[in-house]
Amino acid sequence: MTGAVLLGLAVFCSTMGVGAFGPLLPEVARVSGLADWQLGVVAGSFGFARMIAAMPAGALASRRLASALTAAPLVLVVGMVLLASAGSFAALVLGRFCMGLAHTLGMVGALTAVLQDEDRASASLRLNTLEFSGMLGILGGLVVLGVVPAFWDWRLSFLVAGSPVVVGLLLVPVLRRRFADAGPAAAPAAPRERAGPGMPLRATPRVVWMMFGLGIVSALAWSSVSQFLLPVRGTRVFGLDRAGISRLLAISQVVDLLVLLPVGRLADRVGRGPVLIVVAAFLGLGTLAVGAGSYPWVVAGCVGFGLGLAGWMLPLGVVREHTPPARLGWWTGFYRLCIDGAIFVGPVVSGALGERGAGVFVSGVGLLALTLAAGLALRRR
């Protein structure tokens, strides 16, 4: 089994539980008697753990790649057990925190492994293939949750949907054999990507920071919409049950999966710049529709949202072009720190604002994405 297949399978197994938790949020609130702000903290603790662990995980992946990859499923099991056995607000927060820590260890490790072996011909495609595995896992969690009996307690439903983590545990010995703890030797600096017409060959610091900004906006949109707004609004405004919310969330996941690999291949052929402009525009329009629209607009927004998320990994590829190979783990961790900080902030702010205020906040995030798309387009003129 190749390293790429191993990494993809490990990421898939770790994200099934991530996808299953969102639609269960209203039931968690009802059973545990949580207020909106508490619900936001429970959802946001996942991103908070990812935020504070991103830099240490990057440093660990640079020096002990195998340890980072194999610790992830172990910590994930602890988090899932805590969450499913939780009887208090604090226990729910701790369980989600452990899940976020596990996800960071796995994703930063996998990204470091991919980027250290990156070549010009397939850079974006390989990143998007890893993202494809994660999105497929999230969709799998949503699908399982949509077909299990509705009368099942949310804890049982969650454990069943996240059960592929057992496969992740079985992969631990194989991962330890495949990836050396010392990490691969630093490779020569990768050549700069071919720029599209009007896109400068040498990226400036401003372009690099725009990539960070686009990644942050994407993370804010994803976390606010999937971890708070759609589950809560779907239940309170549209009268959806967990299966209905799962189907709504699955729309963006399916669209994302359908276009993810073609977007990566297209970015390798024409340059990341033009593709980033298009996906940022779709992300902005889709997020606006979800934040402010009626039900038909929300459905259409989920389609645009999925198209926009297909470019989530592309900014990291641009950052990688200007990163020495020996520093890839550190810079990957720093990028994830920014992304995971946004994943933490999104649901927490949404919960503090309440269902109506969260819609306004999400709409503002959509406008930010459109602004970044316009800024990238102006740079190509």
Return the CATH number at 96: 1.20.1250.20
Domain count, the chain: 1
What's the pLDDT score for residue 95?
92
Cβ–Cβ under 8 Å, residues 264 and 129: yes
Range in 138-152, 274-288, 295-309 with the lowest mean pLDDT: 138-152
Residue 190, SS3 per DSSP: coil
Q: Kindly tell me if the per-residue pLDDT of 188 is higher than 50.
A: no
Global pTM reads 0.69
Task: Classify residue 167 as exposed, middle or buried by CB count within 10 Å of its CB (0-12, 13-18, 19+).
Answer: middle
Cα first-last separation, the chain: 46
User: Tokens 């925190």 identify what position?
Assistant: 97
Q: Kindly tell me if the per-residue pLDDT of 125 is higher than 70.
A: no
User: What percent of the chain is modeled with pLDDT above 70?
Assistant: 85
Positive or negative CA dihedral for 288, 291, 297, 298? positive
Which residue has better confidence, 219 or 146?
Answer: 219
What's the pLDDT score for residue 2?
66
Q: At what angle do helices 89-116 and 123-147 cross, to 10 degrees?
A: 150
Residue 232, C-beta contacts closer than 8 angstroms, at least 6 positions apart? 25, 26, 36, 39, 355, 358
Cβ–Cβ under 8 Å, residues 93 and 120: no
Task: Give the range of the structural domain holding residue 322, as residue numbers without chain letter.
Answer: 3-379
CB atoms under 10 Å from CB of 83, counted, come to 27
In this structure, the chain runs to a length of 381
